Structure 1
Amino acid sequence: MNHKLIVVSGPTASGKTKTSIEIAKHIQNTLHMKAAVVNFDSLLFYKEISIGTAKPTLEERDGIEHHMIDIESINSPMNASGFIKKGEEVILELFKQNKVVILVGGSAFYLRAILKGMYESPTAPKELKEGITEQYKNEGIAPFIEFLKINDPQSLINLHENDHYRLMRAVEYFQLTGTKISDKKKEHDQLNPYDFSTISHPWDVLHFYLDLPKDEHFEIIKKRTQEMFDQGLMEEVLELEKAGFFLTEKPLASIGYKEALEFKNGLFANIEECIERIAISTRQLAKAQRTFFNKITPKESFNPIHDQGKIKERVTSFLKE
């Protein structure tokens, strides 16, 4: 019998955490099977950051077993190959324990990596990595963008200007191999990496994609952004600084932390302006996530607010197949 894997994906702030916990409780309480949640949201890997990542608290997890949360330090950011290695180990161990695995997150790239595999990329020597990190600390992202304009302009089209990590990775790849990472991506894309009907594992997969109307979603985003500040996002950033972090670590360039740091450094007139900037950046991120997820097939789309009953019915039929 194939192992059963349920994926819960969707743009940021679309109710994935709540839905995955509801699914797990339904599996355990109604279907009397064991279930566990495995996170594939890249920012939840890091133990030092919680508020700006909307990491579910122990109370919110409601007794449901969660994995791939708080497993790394922001000092050592995890890449996709590291995620595949750890994620597969966790999933296979849970299957050994006869548990239904619920894979949850908004990082479509990581979802594709663990289900479909990824194109191999050579590991850069330590000196090259350190040189790039040092240049980024001293000069920011601008010289990397200039480098790509000359050497790999397609990567500037492929990548969001705020995705500093992948922009730096594209420069690193070119310096290491003398070839463009965008060419490698194009080659990989011709293998149809958005078709999840064939994956690199013998698992039965049910993919729930959560989304809701854009206006309604933006109201939720604004509310959640305000809640992050109410819960102490600025205090979290100041604590990180006190703990000796440089505040240039890759996870702190993510939406929420980036703007909170800019507010701390006086780049916003007031907190309201900062909150508005985060909400707008989050909406832009959600749009990019939708674009990626819309290409993925097969998946079943549901409204996270109105369709919880339908989702549970579908889980029941999938696990009884």
Structure 2
Amino acid sequence: MNKLVIISGPTSSGKTSTSISLATELKKLGISSAIVNFDSLLFYKELTIGTAKPTNEELEQVEHHLVNISSAKEPLNASDYIKLAEEKIIELFKQNKIVFLVGGSGFYLRALIKGMYESRTPNEQLQKELDQLYKEQGIAPFLSYLEEHDPQSLVNLHENDHYRLIRAVEHHKMTGEPISKEKERFDQKNPYDFSENGHPDWDIFHLYLDLPKDEHWEIIQKRTQKMFDDGLVDEVQSLLDQGFSGLEKPLQSIGYKETVGYLRGEYSTINNCQERLNISTRQLAKSQRTFFKKVSPKVQYHPLQDKQKIHQDLLKFITQKN
């Protein structure tokens, strides 16, 4: 059987509600299923409001995996994720369950489906040195290093993607080779063609959710307002009170970074912070669209207008023979 349903899309496109609705519908038909998360921020126990994490009720309503599995003080990387996700998916298939793979972190999804290009894990000493450098001087020295040793990575990576910029420096210091060379080798293997993957025994249906940008913008603004109404500022203040520095990778993500900035006086009013968060979320959605646009095969749906068609197509996929 081994039926895997990917539910992807930009942030705030209804992936959680769609996956829960589909899993609930299957349950009524006597078909067992489970949701495996590939949204990187949902891994962390301490982050709830700013991640739009499924509620406790939703988590109980449908079987979820890889949610609340780590502390934000110990960030998971893509190779950690591949190991955990593959083990869980294989286990669920053995139980004859349909697997919904749900999230918006395209890099993690592609790593699971297509594999990754090689990036050596730095030794502990180097990691400590670079962590200290980042805390003291920020991203500037890393950009200077890459400008000299791996300028292509500065083209490949967004200037705000501090995690991967630091990893590029780590890789060069460990191997003497630019990580962009590894990416180049990987890109020659059709990295966005999910029909060619390392899991020939998985029957994959990729359900991609998106909606017009003006409609999406309204949803983004409403979700930001809800986060603040639900207590995002208090959540972040509590994390800082518990000893988080705000520089942890998960706390540099959209929603948390802006709120840490607000608490540290970078924004004069809460409204300014919310506006910044709205803009950052829209920029994230744009980059996610750019990524998923390249991915094939997939079927695109409007999350609100195409609900009936999504259900019909899912049932058709589940009942068809491999």
| Pairwise TM-score range, normalised by the shorter structure | over 0.9
Tell me the amino acid that sits aligned with residue 61 of structure 2: G
What displacement does 1:61 show?
A: 3.6
Matches within 5 A, 1:152-301: 152-201=150-199, 202-301=201-300
Look up the SS of the partner of 2:267 in the other structure: coil
Equivalent-residue separation in structure 2 for 1:320 and 1:301 (angstroms): 20
Letter in 2 for 1:104: V
Counterpart AA for 2:164? R
After alignment, is 294-303 or 261-270 more displaced?
261-270
SS of 2:61's partner is: coil
Alignment of 1:1-321 (within 5 A): 2-29=1-28, 31-61=29-59, 63-201=61-199, 202-321=201-320
Deviations 1:276-316 (A, max 9, x none): 00110110111111111000000000000111110000011
Residue identity in the other structure for 1:91: I
Contact 1:21 1:61 in 2 (8 A): no
Deviations 1:7-53, CA, capped at 9 Å, x for gaps? 00001111000001111111111x31101000000000011111111
Aligned residue pairs total 319
Deviations 1:117-154 (A, max 9, x none): 11222221000111111111111111111211222111
Amino acid at match of 2:20: I
**Offset from partner CA, 1:250-275 (integer Å, 9 cap, x none):** 10000111110111111111011110
Superposed CA deviations along residues 187-231 of structure 1, whole A, max 9, x for unmatched, are 100100100112211100000000000111111111111111111
Amino acid at match of 2:103: G
Question: Gapped runs of 5+ residues in structure 1?
Answer: none
1:221-244 CA deviation, whole Å, 9 max, x = no partner?
111111111111111111111112
Gaps of 5+ in 2: none
Name the TM-score, length of structure 1 as normaliser: 0.97
Query: What is the CA–CA distance in structure 1 between the aligned matches of 2:82 and 2:37, rounded to whole Å?
Result: 12
1:245, CA displacement in angstroms? 1.6
Please provide the CA RMSD for this pair. 1.0
The one-letter code sitting in structure 2 at the alignment partner of 1:210 is L
- C-alpha distance in 2, partners of 1:282/1:240? 22
Rounded to whole Å, the distance in 1 between the matches of 2:158 and 2:226 is 26
Percent of residue pairs bearing the same amino acid type: 57
- 2: distance between equivalents of 1:155 and 1:231? 39
Q: Is the 8 A contact 1:6 1:208 kept in 2?
A: yes
- Give the distance between the partners of 2:144 and 2:27, measured in 1 at CA: 53
Aligned mates of 2:21, 2:180 — CA distance in 1: 40
Deviation at 1:62, TM superposition (A): 5.6
Give per-residue Cα distances to partners, 1:66-123, cap 9 Å, x unaligned.
0000001111110111000011111111111111000000001111111111122222
Secondary structure of the residue that 1:8 maps to in structure 2? strand
Name the CA distance, whole Å, in 2 between partners of 1:159 and 1:215.
Answer: 27
